[in-house]
């Protein structure tokens, strides 16, 4: 007879864990939440300290019956849902349903699904964390109160069947506010001027107009630009000052949930929902040849950049062997998690350095492999040496005008040989943050792709040509999924586990639509937001 019943959320997770536990254990899946507030009434007693009333979900009655039957035939029940608030709540609801048939109910948690982690967790079972359960219940009750109090107003004023959510309504407001900013935006004209120049040695290079009479300057009209060109007609271009220095670029921290969602959107074109679905599969376990089902990454819902000491030792050994000791810092890098991070779990990383991209590639789909490779490379790079650049900046005088040229060459690639975050790699990120026409103003910052010839103070340069262009300032860009996640995170709205559902809900309710990957509020979305701001301003206040 089996001695223990282990309950997880999904069949995939159950299959992987069963492989590690073996005989004497039954591993079953609850299929996620098993109980919730009733669908047809509020289910919260506001007069009795907001006491909730729960009922078994319609589709989970059979699951609960099977779990009760299994619990009767074992010595103990181990609840092993995900190690977060939702997971804790699932465990608590399961315990409430199973306590009549089992006296020994334990809580086990692991940050990764590996034999070592599972064995350690089972050896030291704990209790359900009531504080986490209370936190989840408070959020759920708030969601229900907000939904049930506001939705009837939307039915009356907009359309029956609509609903409002505590967090989704704020995200929708941000999208609507951005659209209003775009509508009132007035474009301003400006002109850029680049001089193509040659020194004594190749290559030819570009310098951009930056000052007039020693003050920062930008031509605003065609007339102003014509005047600049007239002034420069017979001007000599002379190197005024050259500054050369060494610059370091440090690696970024390993992924937290929101950063993974943003990078997967920008680099792989994944939606937030797709990223989380694939990451869940990598966490729960994949069949990797003779190894069988193994969890490939640590828990994917986290806001901590912390890494376990054992994992740090593994990755440092890997870096020294694969990339050479010159790429290994003297000591492991530690990253500070952002303010307000719960730090309950590690950052997202591979569970073992044995599962190299080469080992797992043939066993994963293209999308699974690409996401795994992103996680792997970011983690390895986070513990490597900084990249070093030799940078040069030159101020070039031409009559009353000053032009600026800058460039750099990689002296030591360091982490960039694994995870490229150079301006070229970040091009798509830049397009996310600002429209292309404003890129002229940022051109001086984009120096890594330019190489300057040797330049000396007082050196005369040969003018090869002048190129002037008209530009117009652009309105603030509409939110993409990556940008909205970033904005929600910066404003402390939602949690790592909720970003995907927030974005999914506002689309499912037809409050927003997408155009070229950007969110546009629908007429209904704008109407709902206006109504909520007027009637429930404190609830949809971003602060």
So which residues are the catalytic ones? 299
Q: Is the dihedral of CA 339, 343, 347, 353 positive or negative?
A: positive
Q: Which residues of 494-507 are buried (b: 16+ CB within 10 A; e: fewer)?
A: bbbbbbbbbbebbb
Question: How far is it, in rounded angstroms, from Cα 293 to Cα 15?
Answer: 8
The DSSP bridge partners found for residue 402 are 211, 397
Neighbour count for residue 270 (Cβ, 10 Å): 24
Question: 400: buried, middle or exposed (CB in 10 Å: 19+, 13-18, 0-12)?
Answer: middle
The DSSP bridge partners found for residue 8 are 29
The DSSP bridge partners found for residue 293 are 287
- Token code pair at residue 344: 């309950």
- Token code pair at residue 98: 């199973």
The region that residue 44 occupies, defined by phi over 0 for left and psi between -120 and 50 for alpha, beta otherwise, is beta
Kindly state the DSSP code that residue 59 receives in the 8-state scheme: G
Q: What CA dihedral angle connects 368, 502, 300 and 347, to 10 degrees?
A: 120
Q: Which of 206, 208, 375 is nearest to 278 (CA)?
A: 375
The region that residue 285 occupies, defined by phi over 0 for left and psi between -120 and 50 for alpha, beta otherwise, is left
* Cβ-contact 493, 167 below 8 angstroms: yes
Cα atoms in the 13 Å half-sphere on the side-chain side of 151: 16
Relative orientation angle of helices 499-508 and 481-490, to the nearest 10 degrees: 120
Relative orientation angle of helices 61-72 and 85-98, to the nearest 10 degrees: 70
Classify 283 as helix, strand or coil. Answer: helix
Question: How far is it, in rounded angstroms, from Cα 47 to Cα 49?
Answer: 6
* Cβ-contact 404, 208 below 8 angstroms: yes
Question: How far is it, in rounded angstroms, from Cα 426 to Cα 474?
Answer: 20
Which stretch of DSSP H or E encloses residue 154? helix 130-157
- Token code pair at residue 245: 């220095």
Question: How far is it, in rounded angstroms, from Cα 429 to Cα 265?
Answer: 10
Q: Would you give the distance in Å from CA 33 to the centre of its chain?
A: 25
């Amino acid at each position: 007879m089996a001695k223990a019943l282990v309950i997880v959320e999904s069949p995939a997770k159950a299959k992987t864990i069963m492989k590690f536990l073996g005989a004497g254990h039954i591993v079953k899946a609850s299929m996620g939440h098993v109980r919730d507030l009733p669908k047809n009434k509020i289910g919260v007693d506001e007069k009795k300290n907001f006491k909730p009333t729960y009922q078994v979900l319609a589709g989970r009655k059979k699951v609960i019956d099977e779990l009760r039957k299994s619990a009767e035939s074992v010595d103990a029940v181990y609840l092993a849902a995900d190690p977060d608030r939702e997971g804790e709540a699932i465990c608590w609801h399961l315990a409430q349903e199973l306590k009549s048939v089992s006296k020994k109910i334990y809580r086990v948690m692991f940050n990764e699904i590996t034999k070592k982690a599972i064995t350690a967790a089972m050896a030291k079972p704990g209790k359900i964390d009531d504080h986490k359960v209370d936190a989840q219940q408070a959020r759920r009750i708030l969601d229900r109160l907000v939904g049930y109090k506001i939705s009837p107003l939307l039915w009356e004023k907009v359309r029956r069947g609509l609903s409002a959510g505590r967090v989704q309504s704020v995200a929708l407001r941000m999208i609507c506010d951005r659209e209003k900013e775009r509508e009132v935006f007035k474009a301003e004209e400006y002109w850029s001027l680049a001089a193509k120049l040659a020194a004594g040695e190749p290559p030819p290079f570009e310098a951009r107009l930056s000052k007039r009479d020693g003050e920062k300057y930008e031509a605003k009209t065609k007339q102003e630009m014509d005047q600049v060109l007239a002034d420069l007609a017979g001007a000599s271009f002379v190197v005024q000052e050259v500054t050369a220095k060494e610059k370091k670029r440090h690696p970024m921290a390993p992924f937290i949930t929101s950063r993974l969602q943003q990078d997967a959107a920008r680099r792989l074109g994944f939606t937030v929902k797709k990223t989380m679905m694939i990451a869940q599969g990598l966490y729960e376990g994949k069949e990797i040849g003779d190894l069988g089902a193994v969890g490939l990454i640590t828990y994917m819902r986290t806001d901590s950049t912390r890494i376990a000491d054992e994992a740090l030792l593994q990755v440092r050994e890997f870096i020294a062997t694969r990339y050479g000791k010159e790429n290994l810092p003297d000591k492991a890098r530690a990253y500070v998690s952002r303010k307000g991070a719960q730090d309950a779990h590690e950052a997202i990383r591979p569970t073992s350095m044995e599962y190299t991209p080469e080992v797992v590639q043939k066993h994963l789909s293209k999308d699974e492999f690409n996401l795994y490779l992103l996680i792997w490379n970011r983690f390895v790079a986070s513990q490597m040496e900084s990249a070093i650049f030799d940078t040069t900046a030159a101020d070039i005088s031409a009559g009353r005008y000053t032009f600026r040229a800058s460039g750099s060459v990689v002296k030591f690639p360091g982490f960039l040989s694994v995870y490229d975050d150079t301006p070229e790699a970040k091009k798509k990120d830049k397009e996310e943050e600002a429209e292309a026409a404003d890129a002229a103003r940022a051109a001086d910052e984009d120096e890594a792709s330019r190489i300057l010839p040797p330049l000396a103070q007082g050196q005369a340069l040969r003018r090869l040509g002048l190129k002037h262009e008209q530009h117009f300032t652009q309105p603030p860009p509409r939110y993409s999924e990556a940008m909205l996640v970033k904005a929600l995170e910066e404003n402390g709205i939602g949690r790592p586990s909720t970003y995907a559902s927030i974005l999914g809900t506002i689309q499912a309710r037809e409050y927003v639509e997408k155009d070229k990957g950007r969110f546009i509020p629908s007429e209904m979305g704008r109407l709902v937001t206006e109504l909520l701001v007027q009637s429930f301003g404190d609830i949809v206040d971003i602060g």
